[in-house]
Structure 1
Amino acid sequence: MTEREKIAGGLERAQGAGVIDEVIEPARTRGAIALAIAEAVPARGAHGDIPV
């Protein structure tokens, strides 16, 4: 355990506190990002207007 992990708490503490949603393996990063973008709600202005 590094000094920073001793002070900040590390991955397990972050997961327990709900700071992170999931841990993604490096080989799955590109697919996870693509999926998140595909599932994201399209952005709209404060009044429902489509951004120009």
Structure 2
Amino acid sequence: MAVEIKEMVIRATIVADKQGESGQPSTPVAVDQNEIIKECVKEVLRVIKKNNRR
């Protein structure tokens, strides 16, 4: 019997490392949340489209 997922909720927390490889504090990294969301949505839509082709 096949299982169909009607809804999927994905949550992620992005945390920058406080220290680099040398033990020194790394420079702050500017993370554009909108860009991350766009990439996630694009990937989810790609997977859905791939699954609909089957």
TM-score (norm 1): 0.33
Larger helix fraction of residues: 1
